[in-house]
Structure 1
Amino acid sequence: MQKIGVNMSGTLLLKQNEIKQLITMKEVVDAVETAFKAFAQRDVQMPPKDYLFFHEGDLRIMPCYVRSTEESGVKCVNVHPNNPQKHNLPTVMAIIELVDPETGFPLAVMDGTWVTDMRTGAAAGVATKYLARPDSEILGIIGAGKQAWTQLMALNEVMDIKKARVFCRTCSTRTDFAEKASEIYGFDVEAVDSAEAAVQNADVVVTTTPSCKPVIKAEWISPGTHINAMGADAPTKQELETRLLLNAKIVIDSWDQASHSGEINVPVSQKVLKEKDIHAKIGDVIIGKKTGREDEEITVFDSAGLAVQDVVTAGLIYRRAKEQGLGVDFDFIS
């Protein structure tokens, strides 16, 4: 990563349709791997995300500073599950501000909604690269929304997928997802009528729901399976049965965030699961400080989502935008 550098001509404003032109999922996977590595090497200042809770959803503030590359910024992101039905708005919306650490100057303000979707998908891609069996071919997907789509995008970068099965509660949604994915990726994506059918005998499983009640039972998961638990991102949310977690090798992104709002938050709050039961942070696996997969164990990656993923990805987007002349410079100060 190169240092961003200050842009005294103004603050660069970037819309989602501009950002989408600038980077690919493969590049986001690489950026997120770099982010996890920087966090493991203690190159990152990053307080845990903070929350405001509303009646219909929540708002999170996520600041980060990467010392070696002088990348710094903050993401403001909401999660409102009823938005699509009630307001025709996305469940998740975000804004990212990049800041010059030397002066505090706002380098860029960009849409963070697409970045959030992409870097969350990419996190599962990185974890699958290090924790799944190398010959993994069968993918089970729980959920069929935007996040399920970016999960598939990222996993396709690190797996030789031969078949995928998808389940969500709405028949038409999972059918549409399966048809579109089959057409784009060229392998068979099947819409199935239960979570159990989606995950049985799968090599890799990904969960992308907002559930507060486990949707995956321990007896459904075969030895050697890798699970990316991506949906739990706030207190009380849980997608995997606690018994499944207790029988798995658990890898997290950050203890502070995962224990508060990740997949492990419920069993931790119940004192069933303790920090000593966690095998590693994903960054420690990447840098070789901790082992990855061994034999036919079940592995679980608990992704609570880290600000460093957003800032490193946004930094790459900012540099590309400057190179290609995209976005609008705006003077907030005068």
Structure 2
Amino acid sequence: MPDLKADARMAASTQEGAVLSENDKAGASLQAALPRIDFIYLSEPDMIRAGVTDMPKCVDAMEEMFRLLHVGDYRMAGGNNNSHGAIIVFPEDSPFPDMPKPTTDRRFMAMPAYLGGSFRTAGMKWYGSNVENRNRNLPRSILTFILNDVDTGAPLAMMSANLLSAYRTGAVPGVGARYLARKDSSVVGIVGPGVMARTSLAAFMATCPLIDTVKVRGRGQANLDAFTAWVAQTYPQITTVKVVETDEEVVRDSDIATFCASVATGDPSKYPTVRREWVRPGTFLSMPAPCNIDEGMEAPEIRKVLDFTGLYEAYLEELPAPRHNHVPAVGVRYFDLVEEGKLPRDALEDLGAIVSGATPARRNDDEIIILSVGGMAVEDVAWGTMVYRNAVAKGIGVKLNLWDEPALK
């Protein structure tokens, strides 16, 4: 039998060596006169000009990233190198009157990572999040990303990261669809017509070009109207957009179904739930937002795929059981079921292994496959690196100076 991991490591190493000169060229104009250090600032309009919304290329970048995850050429936070990040949460009761209150999604978080292969960069996404931002006409989360040279540690770029994060999040379901959806998929069902729905649909369109019908369920008419108008303008090949009233209508008779709605974390019974009776043979379910499954979906014939096994194993170390109360990704529910003795550990598959060819992709047109998407800092590093290189090549961004010479050495 061929040693797929060894072959992949060799390929990644060869590819890394081939692109080091490219990395050097990308940073040469900014760091040619060490100890002087310059870097670039990329605003959101700069990011758009540099290609952050190019979903087909983003899907390709995520696919390459998954191959690197499979062979181990990466690092994330924590002692296990697999942590989602480091988070600041606020207490219910504080003696300090000015401390923020723990309202829904009220947090700060740092998500650092290193990614090897053709990327060979490190970076960190930093964000503050508060659902009350919507009352201020702001996104729920406000994100920035810093990219660093891995040899000196010097900054290469400081980026506006809301679009970076949104597109890398949507691109992961696109990688899943490339390997796990039926090739003739034409009907997509969506719960939650927000940003995640737009980028997920964009990724599905990049990987399943026969899609012509979208069903969508949402809570507010304004969001539904904005989403349907966006679909009509962006994808004229989608001939039917149907607003439905229930999650069942979203899932039933869909080739691809995705839950993209934000809900409060804590009570899994209130998370959107996939019921086996709704799901027809051949359906691919992509879950980048809170999700639960019924007992029928626990059955062994349902393929259960994790975007990256290490992320969920880190939650096992970091969180008390049941962990689905704390992290609403359906993959966390899988591991709770394993601990409860209701699911064998070897029933869980890894997307990186599938992308790398170590595990089969879709085997036949009748398989039902559900993918858990948890979100990882390596995704930001992968896509942020590609956008940075585009920006340097095109002269986009504002050059900023860290120092001409450090005051302390």
Q: How high is the TM-score relative to the length of structure 2?
A: 0.75
Question: Where do 1:42-81 residues align within 5 Å?
Answer: 42-46=72-76, 47=81, 48-50=83-85, 51-54=87-90, 55-56=102-103, 57=105, 58-69=107-118, 70-81=120-131
Name the SS for the 1:129 alignment partner: helix
Question: Where do 1:174-193 residues align within 5 Å?
Answer: 174-186=224-236, 187=238, 188-193=240-245
- Give me the whole-angstrom Cα distance separating, in 1, the residues matched to 2:125 and 2:156: 14
- 8 Å contact kept, 1:93–1:113: yes
Q: 1:267: Cα distance to partner? A: 5.0
Question: Where do 1:1-334 residues align within 5 Å?
Answer: 2-3=19-20, 4-5=23-24, 6=27, 7-8=30-31, 10-23=38-51, 24-46=54-76, 47=81, 48-50=83-85, 51-54=87-90, 55-56=102-103, 57=105, 58-69=107-118, 70-84=120-134, 86-159=135-208, 160-186=210-236, 187=238, 188-211=240-263, 212=265, 213-215=270-272, 216-232=274-290, 239-243=291-295, 245-247=297-299, 248-258=302-312, 260=315, 261=327, 262-266=329-333, 268-269=335-336, 271-272=339-340, 276-295=345-364, 296-333=366-403
- 8 Å contact kept, 1:179–1:189: no
Q: 1:161: Cα distance to partner? A: 0.5
- Give me the whole-angstrom Cα distance separating, in 2, the residues matched to 1:182 and 1:190: 12
Q: 1:222: Cα distance to partner? A: 1.3
Name the SS for the 2:330 alignment partner: coil
- Give me the whole-angstrom Cα distance separating, in 2, the residues matched to 1:94 and 1:59: 10
- Give me the whole-angstrom Cα distance separating, in 2, the residues matched to 1:171 and 1:244: 32
List 4+ stretches of structure 1 deviating above 6 A: none
Q: Which has the larger radius of gyration?
A: 2
Q: 1:194: Cα distance to partner? A: 1.7
Name the SS for the 1:206 alignment partner: strand
Name the SS for the 2:359 alignment partner: coil
Q: 1:274: Cα distance to partner? A: 5.5
User: Which digits, 9 at most, give the CA deviation of each residue in 1:234-259, with x for residues without a partner?
Assistant: xxxxx232425413211112224246
Name the SS for the 1:331 alignment partner: strand
- Give me the whole-angstrom Cα distance separating, in 1, the residues matched to 2:373 and 2:383: 17
Q: 1:11: Cα distance to partner? A: 1.4
Q: Measured at CA, do residues 244 and 178 of structure 1 come closer, stay the same or move farther in structure 2, by a change above 3 Å?
A: farther
Q: 1:108: Cα distance to partner? A: 0.8
Query: Where is the helix percentage greater, Structure 1 or Structure 2?
Result: 2
The residue that corresponds to 2:407 in the other structure is none
Q: Measured at CA, do residues 333 and 280 of structure 1 come closer, stay the same or move farther in structure 2, by a change above 3 Å?
A: farther
- Give me the whole-angstrom Cα distance separating, in 2, the residues matched to 1:275 and 1:324: 51
- Give me the whole-angstrom Cα distance separating, in 2, the residues matched to 1:145 and 1:257: 25
The residue that corresponds to 1:236 in the other structure is none
- 8 Å contact kept, 1:63–1:74: yes
Letter in 2 for 1:214: Y
More off after superposition, 130-139 vs 324-333:
324-333
User: Which digits, 9 at most, give the CA deviation of each residue in 1:247-299, with x for residues without a partner?
Assistant: 32111122242463332224534634667154321111011001122231210
- 8 Å contact kept, 1:168–1:195: no
- 8 Å contact kept, 2:49–2:396: no
Name the SS for the 2:402 alignment partner: coil
- Give me the whole-angstrom Cα distance separating, in 2, the residues matched to 1:73 and 1:173: 33
For structure 2, list consecutive stretches of 5 or more residues without a partner in the other structure. 1-14, 32-36, 91-101, 316-326, 405-409
- Give me the whole-angstrom Cα distance separating, in 2, the residues matched to 1:283 and 1:81: 33
User: Which digits, 9 at most, give the CA deviation of each residue in 1:184-208, with x for residues without a partner?
Assistant: 2121211112221122100001111
Letter in 2 for 1:230: P
- 8 Å contact kept, 1:250–1:301: yes
Name the SS for the 2:145 alignment partner: strand
- Give me the whole-angstrom Cα distance separating, in 2, the residues matched to 1:185 and 1:138: 14
Q: 1:308: Cα distance to partner? A: 1.4
- Give me the whole-angstrom Cα distance separating, in 2, the residues matched to 1:14 and 1:245: 44
Q: Measured at CA, do residues 67 and 177 of structure 1 come closer, stay the same or move farther in structure 2, by a change above 3 Å?
A: closer
